[in-house]
Amino acid sequence: MAKKTNYSLFDDVCAFVDDAAKHLDLHPGLLDQIKQCNSIYKFNFPLRNDDGTYETLTGYRIQHSHHKLPVKGGIRYSEHVDEEEVKGLAALMTYKCALVNIPFGGAKGGISIDPTKYNINQLERITRRYTAELIKKKFIGPAIDVPAPDYGTGAREMAWIVDTFEAFSPELINAKGCVTGKPLSQHGIDGRTEATGQGVFYGIREAVNVDEDMKSLGLTKGLRGKKVIVQGLGNVGYYSAKYLSEAGAKIIGVAEWNGGIWDEAGIHIEDLKNYQLKNKGYKGYPRGEFIKNGKEMLTYECDILIPAALENQITIENAALIKAKIIGEAANGPVTEEAEKILLDKGVMIIPDMYLNAGGVTVSYFEWLKNLSRVSFGKLEKRYDMEKYRKLMSTIENATGEEFTEEERDALIKGASERDLVLSGLEETMVTAYQDMNRIRKEKGIESLRTAGFILALERIAVSYMDLGIFP
């Protein structure tokens, strides 16, 4: 499928920045510096196939902002990867990190391939060569640029990247911090796999718990009973739907590029995911109605719509048909600038991607810190805390003359694991960022949470430059 050439995610992001800048008094030169990509690396490299033939592949790594180092952003493998897409995604990473107060600049990378057309040996050769190209130009390193998984990549590719980087830098004690999203065996972090989806859940939960905002949408407070449609049941969409369902929301639709399932009685997400993995789609699924045109489901009636696939999904062509009250952008750039204006005029609340899918980079930040410190979270204090709680419980029992049950004792004495601490840090980050963003929206008297998010991000980035004395 050919990619539309008239759409630029980077231009859309810059337009959102310009809208936000109208509410701030920024030096024009500073605003221009913030918007532009600092470094763009595009390169070609050969792949020798198993049958002896060769093909030339194109790779990218774009560093959008150096106001903080290292820069951070995923690597995606997709036939749609091009310079404009990577620029837009890198820019989003800058503003995303600033919004949730994570001390990274923004970056992104990718290779223009369809990974499903290559076997595991080819993908390993591609990934290691891509990493070598980044190393040659110093576009990767724990203090310089720290990639992560994205569309079409995962923990396996990150393991190949860190292994290649360590082979080139055997003397670097913090080499594991060159990339995040690694397997646990390669010093990854417990909770990274589901981090983005978990963050989506925390973000939507926080939004629907603001009674005043829900009343303005004609909805009740809280997640219970909310009808949800999810587009894309990959890693992010699956975990978003799973946690929302467990919290009492009802998943009534799941859409993919090759069809979707619609069931107003509610969809069992884990069951549907297992079927999808076995059958490469939803056709023949025994419950609900199979919808041949999955994208059409974006316009079905629901309370919350979660586009969790690719960018440019809700456009000027279908925005007027959207019936959802809330759109949670789990994917990057699923709603275009033109579409957003139509949706806001209809009174739709859009929870923006730059905030909602920040769970991945937040937990990546924790993984990076773990790699720099070379110790797992909770390892030093867990047993100390358990003993402290045990003594406290004994004191309470002696004072009251009543004993705790075994179940109560186990629950209260249990020390925090790495996963417990990671999820706690993620929840705190997502809750605080939403409250800050919603506060700015109301203080400025604007409708768009996205504009409020960009205002907050721009303020923080501008302070970094001004404190360096570069701009007044």
Q: How far apart are the first and last CA of the chain?
A: 48
Neighbours of 256 (CB within 10 A): 22
Is residue 3 among the annotated active site residues?
no
Closest listed residue to residue 142, CA positions, set 109, 165, 111: 165
Q: How many CA atoms lie within 13 A of 318 on its CB side?
A: 16
Closest listed residue to residue 98, CA positions, set 440, 376, 370: 440
Sequence letter at residue 453? G
Q: What is the strand order of the sheet 39-48 is part of?
A: 39-48, 54-63, 105-111, 71-77, 145-149
CA 26 to CA 459: how far, in whole Å?
9
Beta strands per DSSP E along 322-455: 326-328, 349-351
- Residues 6+ positions from 36 with CB-CB distance below 8 Å: none
Alpha helices in 22-66 (DSSP H): 28-35
Backbone angles phi, psi at 108, to 5 degrees: -165, 155
Would you say how long the chain is, in residues?
Answer: 472
Identify the three-state secondary structure at position 413: helix
- The two counts, helices (H) then strands (E), for the chain are 16, 12
Alpha helices in 374-417 (DSSP H): 382-400, 406-413
- Residues 6+ positions from 395 with CB-CB distance below 8 Å: none
Pairing of strands 304-307, 227-231: parallel
Closest listed residue to residue 311, CA positions, set 8, 1, 2: 8
Contact 146, 69 (CB under 8 A): no
Catalytic residue from among 96, 108, 250, 370:
108
- Beta-bridged to residue 47, according to DSSP, are 55
CA 439 to CA 431: how far, in whole Å?
12
Closest listed residue to residue 109, CA positions, set 165, 46, 151: 151
Q: Residues with catalytic annotation?
A: 108
